[in-house]
Amino acid sequence: MFNQFRNFITADTLAASLGRLILILFLTWLAAEVGSWLAVRMLRGRALRWRQIEERRLLTLQSLVGSAVRVMVWIIGVVVVLFALGIPAGAILTALGLFSAGFGLGARPLINDYLAGMVLIFEDQFSVGEKVEMLEVIGTVEAVELRTTRLRATSGELFIVPNGEVRVVRNLSRGSFSVANIKVTVVTADLARALEVLEGVADAAQTRFPELMERPEVLSIEGAISNYVELTLVAKAAYGRGAQLRPQLMTAVTDALAQAGVQIVG
C-alpha cells in the first residue's frame, strides 16, 4: 500500500498533481494548527513556571502567538506549493521579491495592522477580558489577534478593530481610583455653617466608609458668590467603587445638613 501511495504521489498525472497539492495544503493546515497549539502550550507552561504573567495578559499573548505561528506556517506552505508545481527556485525568489514590493505599496494598511499586532506582544496596553475604549467604542476585549482585535460593545455588537487603527486606548479596567463627588447648593447666608458641617462629614467619612482612598475635600469649584453657593465634596474611592459609595455619601451629607438646619437649594 505504501508503494502504491508513493507511486501516486511521484507520478506526473493530473490526478497525482492535484493529490500532491491537496496533501501539501492539508499538511500545512495541520502544521499551522498543531504548531499554534504547541506554541500556546509552551507559553502557558513557562508562564505558570515563572508566575510573573497574570491570566488576562497570558490570554492576550496566547492569541497573538497563535496567530503569528499560523501566518508563518502558511507562508512556508505556499512556497512549498510553488515548488510542487515545478516552478524554479530562482523564479520563486524573484516572484516573492516582486510580490513583497507590490504588497508593501498596495497593502500598507494591512502591514501596519500586522506590525501593530506584533507590538502588542511586547506592550501591555490591554488584555483579553478588560473593558476598554478604542475608536470611540467601549466594550470588552474578547480576542487579540495578529491583525485585529475583537471588541464586544456594551450594547452587544462585536467590533473587529484593525490593530493598525488603534492609536489611543482608554483602559477602563486599570484605573487607580473612582470619583464619588457630591455637589450641594446652599443659601449664601448658611455658607459658613454648611462648610463646617461638610468638613465634619469629611472627617468622619474615611473611617465610616472603607472604600475611600483619602479624606474628602470641600471645594467651591466655580467660586462664584451670589444668593446661592454650590459646594462640592470631592471624594476618591477605590477603583470601581465610586458608584456604590456616592449614594452613601449623599445620605450622610443630606442628614448632616438637615440636622444643622442648613437649607439645601434645588
State the CATH number of the domain containing residue 153: 2.30.30.60
Q: Is the pLDDT of residue 11 over 60?
A: no
7 lies in a domain?
Answer: yes
> Is 124 part of a structural domain of the chain?
no
Q: How far apart are CA 75 and CA 199, in angstroms?
A: 68
Q: Check whether 5 has a pLDDT greater than 60.
A: no
At residue 4, the pLDDT reads: 45
pTM: 0.50
Together in a domain, 215 and 261: yes
Same domain, 162 and 183: no
- What pLDDT is recorded for position 107? 55
> Taking 80 as the threshold, does the pLDDT of residue 171 lie above it?
yes
Residue 41 covered by a domain: yes
Cβ count within 10 A of residue 73: 20
> 85 lies in a domain?
yes
Judge if 42 and 90 occupy the same domain.
yes
Report how many domains make up the chain: 3
% of the chain with per-residue pLDDT over 70: 76
Whether the predicted pLDDT of 151 surpasses 90: yes
Are residue 9 and residue 70 in the same domain, yes or no?
yes
- Report percent pLDDT > 90 for the chain: 14
Check whether 241 has a pLDDT greater than 80.
yes
112, part of any domain:
no
HEC letters along 25-84: HHHHHHHHHHHHHHHHHHHHHHHHHHCCCCHHHHHHHHHHHHHHHHHHHHHHHHHHHHHH
CATH code of 198's domain = 3.30.70.100
| Same domain (yes/no): 184, 161 | no
Do the Cβ atoms of 141 and 132 come closer than 8 Å? Answer: yes
Summary mean pLDDT of the chain = 79
Looking at 106, 123, 155, the residue that finishes a domain is 106
Average pLDDT over residues 131-149: 88
Whether 118 is in a domain gets the answer no
Shared-domain flag, residues 136 and 102 = no
Question: Quick one: pLDDT at residue 153?
Answer: 93
116 domain-assigned: no
Residue 204 and residue 163 share a domain: no
Q: Which domain holds residue 50?
A: 2-106
Q: How many CB atoms lie within 10 A of CB 256?
A: 17
Same domain, 241 and 192: yes
Average pLDDT (254-264) is 89
**166 lies in the same domain as 187:** no
Q: Are residues 202 and 167 in the same domain?
A: no
Rounded average pLDDT over 89-104 = 64
Cα–Cα nearest to 67, from 138, 156, 5, 128: 128
Q: Show the CA angle centred on residue 212, arms to residues 211 and 213, nearest 5°.
A: 115
Residue 113 belongs to some domain of the structure: no
Helix (H) or strand (E) holding 247: helix 242-259
Give the integer Cα–Cα distance in Å for 57 and 249.
Answer: 36
Cell of 131: 473593558
**In this structure, what C-alpha cell is assigned to residue 124?**
501591555
